[in-house]
Copies of this chain bind each other. A is one copy, B any other.
Amino acid sequence: MISERSFEVLRAIVEDYVSTREPVGSKALIERHGFEVSSATIRNDMSILEDEGLIHAPHTSAGRVPTDSGYRLFVDRLNELKQLSAAERLAIETLLTGSVDLDEILGRSVRMLSQLTNQVAMIQYPTLGKARVRNFELVPVADTRILMVLVSDNGRIQQHVIELGEFVDLSFLAQVRGLINEAIAGAYLNEVAARLNGLEGKFPAANRALVSVLVATLQEQVDANRQDKLVLAGTANLARSEGDFGGDISPLLDAIEEQVVLLRLISEMEADQDNVSLLIGSENTIAGLSNASVLVSGYGNSQEPLAKVGVLGPTRMDYSNNIAAVRAIARYLSKSLGA
């Protein structure tokens, strides 16, 4: 087990390295932090830390840099988080007053988060999980096309345009709409498929094909909420900390554009509310993200998170501050979307 002071040395190294981007040496440490021992002692401690694989020297005559495990230990032992400034808290407060639109709330929040952290911020759209069907609408948008709208009781709206290939009578549409609404109103979304079973049977044979298309699309829609979307902000921050990514940020930009990769990554990370979890450097297995850390928290109501919110940046980031920021935004998202 490493000693208390050795850990303090690690902490100091992480902090200095994060703020200066320069490998930190024993002498600089005792100057900038109040260690009551000599540099030789610090060197001994550093030697221990290096044996433990927590820090590492880029070359013989340079200072030390934290390894992924070093950051990990640092974070795990992080007992007090940096507090957000009053100004920042105020910004978040005012941020969320007055917006009712889901897209708007997410959009503003994600931008705020990227500002607070100076990293790429991301928010996953809320899953419909435990939501119930509130309303189902069919709106004609062209002779042979209709817009399907599914509103759930957490205020989320899903829509899809369907090409029917033939002209459809309006009153017939209204009838279908009524029956479907009747069948699924109030149902949890994962019950929708079951409730729609056999619905075609209620229509004359001539219309069944049509109804089938509608039902199938609706079921698809409900399923589709599993592979949800991300809102992102602050991509430019990547370019600014390009040096920390070994000079090539294109795999990161790719991952960001792909979304799928990121989504899978963050959905595999478990995260309750008020509990930020993170992957540091090579803890994630995605090629090209080995110099990156991902930091997510769940948000939603208190029993069960709706989705995740997080931050992507270089391993060399201010974890303390960023964890606090993610947590704060998650809390506010929960407050305004948590039903």
Contacts and interface: CB of A to CB of B under 8 A. Distances in A.
Nearest to A164: B100
A155 B135 contact: no
Interface stretch (A21-29, A68-76, A247-255): A247-255
A141 B162 contact: no
A257 B233 contact: yes
Nearest to A162: B100
B239 A239 contact: yes
B236 A102 contact: no
Contacts of A102: 161
Size category of the A interface is 35 or more
Interface string A129-150: 0000011010111100101010
Interface string A201-240: 0000000000000000000000000000000011110111
Nearest to A238: B253
A52 interface: no
Nearest to A234: B257
A18 interface: no
A157 interface: yes
Among A134, A151, A238, the most chain B Cβ lie within 10 Å of the Cβ of: A151
Interface string A83-121: 000000000000000001110000000000000000000
A257 B253 CA distance: 13
A336 to B, nearest CB: 12
Nearest to A134: B141
Contacts of A82: none
A177 to B, nearest CB: 11
A253 B239 contact: yes
A41 interface: no
Contacts of A233: 257
Contacts of A151: 139-141, 147
Contact of A134 (B137, B140, B159, B254): B140
A73 to B, nearest CB: 32
A71 B184 CA distance: 61
A149 B135 CA distance: 14
Contacts of A253: 235-236, 238-239
Contact of A159 (B135, B142, B159, B257): B159
A239 B235 contact: no
Contacts of A256: 235-236
Given A134-B140, A234-B257, 19 more contacts: A100-B145, A100-B162, A100-B163, A101-B160, A134-B141, A135-B141, A137-B137, A141-B151, A141-B157, A142-B155, A147-B149, A147-B157, A149-B149, A233-B257, A235-B256, A236-B253, A236-B254, A238-B253, A239-B239
19 contacts: A100-B161, A100-B163, A101-B161, A102-B161, A134-B140, A135-B139, A141-B151, A141-B157, A142-B153, A147-B151, A147-B157, A157-B159, A157-B161, A159-B159, A233-B257, A235-B257, A236-B253, A236-B254, A239-B239
